[in-house]
Amino acid sequence: MSILINKDTRLLVQGITGNEGLFHTTQMVAYGTNVVAGVTPGKGGEWVLDGKVPVFDSVKLAVEATGANCSVIFVPARFAPDAMFEAADAGIPLIVCITEGVPVQDMMRVRNYIDQKGVRLIGPNCPGLLTPGEAKVGIIPGNIAVPGNVGVVSRSGTLTYEVLYALKLVGMGASTCVGIGGDPINGTNFIDVLEMFEHDPQTEKVVLIGEIGGTDEDKAAEYIAAHMTKPVVAFIAGQTAPPGKRMGHAGAIIEGSAGSAADKIRALEAAGVKVAKHPEEIPSLLK
């Protein structure tokens, strides 16, 4: 068992013929992910990866022909909102948007729309999903994680890789890794994923990687205290970030003391979560 994706996932890639789309499709297929289709408007009828994956003009056509049940989006920011609307309208139940730099107001419209449709969106501005040994949807390097019983959920991209890699180095594996993305408005938050891990039999422990800005970590702490039976270890990035400065992620901004790393760490520790001083300390806290 795992959450969100597994070897039966039938993946569609939006923006499959672009540079990033093609590179990462190759990686996902090499990992063993069942990539059934790609979409690039105007390139329907072509094939990529030596004739292995058919390209369609629209998500609707791709779903009809291949029964795709998950979509990963690699299109540029200005086209990404439309790609998310299109996937939702075509009946894709799980959408993973890798694209970074999507305007916030677009994301508010997307999020409110897909919530009405009952669609699950991961991201945007995220590394995607990895169920080691089964499937990867997105850009997490496959070779940095092995199958195991640790569920990983993170707002960051490369920082997540650090953690997976640190786990692997000590022989610990992951059930599923979920990168929820660092934008202020995204599709899935910590609580959504914590709940899935709590109910997943393969997951025995959970790692939560947060960062400054917003209140998602505080809400996660409340949820953990009230509902989680599995142990949770956390790391919060941005402990030295100066207040009021925007540290790249549109979401990682602290105004005054609200959203500071210290506040989040306090809230998590109060909920019984062990908080690591740096990412490589996480494996020892899980033991």
Which of 6, 10, 17, 20 is close enough to bind another protein by CB under 8 A?
20
Query: CA–CA separation, 69 vs 57, rounded Å?
Result: 17
Quote the strand ranges of 139-193, DSSP E. 147-154, 174-179
**Residue 199, SS3 per DSSP:** helix
If one asks whether residue 278 binds another protein (CB under 8 A), the answer comes out as yes
Q: What is the closest distance, in whole angstroms, from the C-beta atom of residue 274 to another protein in the complex?
A: 17
If one asks whether residue 117 binds another protein (CB under 8 A), the answer comes out as no
Q: Are 98 and 122 in contact (CB under 8 A)?
A: no
If one asks whether residue 248 binds another protein (CB under 8 A), the answer comes out as yes
Span from 31-39, 55-63, 83-91, 272-280 in contact with another protein (CB under 8 A): 272-280
Span from 44-52, 58-66, 212-220, 266-274 in contact with another protein (CB under 8 A): 212-220
Query: CA–CA separation, 191 vs 101, rounded Å?
Result: 24
Nearer to another protein, 10 or 109 (CB): 109
Query: CA–CA separation, 192 vs 188, rounded Å?
Result: 6
Query: CA–CA separation, 125 vs 73, rounded Å?
Result: 10
If one asks whether residue 211 binds another protein (CB under 8 A), the answer comes out as yes
249 carries an active-site annotation:
yes
Q: What is the closest distance, in whole angstroms, from the C-beta atom of residue 51 to another protein in the complex?
A: 25
Q: What is the closest distance, in whole angstroms, from the C-beta atom of residue 190 to another protein in the complex?
A: 13
**Close Cβ partners of 19 (under 8 Å, ≥ 6 residues apart):** none
Cis peptide before 124 (omega within 30 of 0): yes
Q: Please work out, in degrees rounded to the nearest 5, the angle formed at the alpha carbon of residue 260 by the alpha carbons of 254 and 264.
A: 140
Residues 40-79 that bind another protein (CB under 8 A): 77-78
The dihedrals phi and psi of 173, each to the nearest 5 degrees, come to -115, 170
Nearer to another protein, 93 or 101 (CB): 101
Residues that bind another protein (CB under 8 A): 20, 24, 77-78, 98, 100-106, 108-109, 111-113, 127, 139-141, 144, 154-162, 165-166, 182, 184-185, 209, 211-212, 214-215, 235, 237-242, 245-252, 256, 277-280
Active site residues: 249
